Every structure is written in C-alpha cells, then in structure tokens.
Amino acid sequence: MTVGLSSGLMKKGKEQYDILKPTIERKYWGQYIVIEPISHEYFINVRLADALREAKNKFPDREFFSARIGFEIALSLVACCGV
C-alpha cells in the first residue's frame, strides 16, 4: 500500500530493500524496516511505529518505504500523524 509516496521513491525503497534482504532476513525475520529512499538509510525495530519514529527523528520531512522483513507485503509511509 502506498500512502502519499511517489512511485519513483516507492521503487527506490523496494530496490534498496531487495539489496538488504539477504543480509538482514535471518537476523531480523518478522521485524520491520523503514528505509529513507534518497539516503538509503534504514531503521529496524520489532515495532513499525518505533522504526518509523527513529526514521522521522533523523529525517523529519521525508517519505519512507517500509516492509516486514521476510514477508512480501510492503507499504510506504509519509512522515505524518505524530507517530
């Protein structure tokens, strides 16, 4: 699901996740990753809200790609909503 993230940034985030996936999947299976698609920096946490909070603290005005590690469903989030 995309919430306000441009298709170009969504694609960049997904590409970065696909690159990281082999190295993070075993260690962080089931946790959440939030990727800032421009810098490629990422944040991993057991709770999506916590990973997003970390990302927003560093990049308050950016949009993010998010996925549950090891699962095919992904979503992208705009930094909003006081999370």
How sure is the predictor about 2, in pLDDT bands with cuts at 50, 70 and 90? very low
At residue 10, the pLDDT reads 84
pLDDT, residue 46, reads 98
DSSP assignment of 12-58, as one string?
HHHHHHHHHHHHHHHHHTT-EEEE-TTT--EEEESSHHHHHHHHHHH
**Domain ranges (residues) in the chain:** 7-78
Residues 6-53 have pLDDT tens digits of 778 888 989 999 999 999 999 999 999 999 999 999 999 999 999 999
> For residue range 51-67, what is the model confidence (pLDDT) as tens digits?
999 999 999 999 999 99
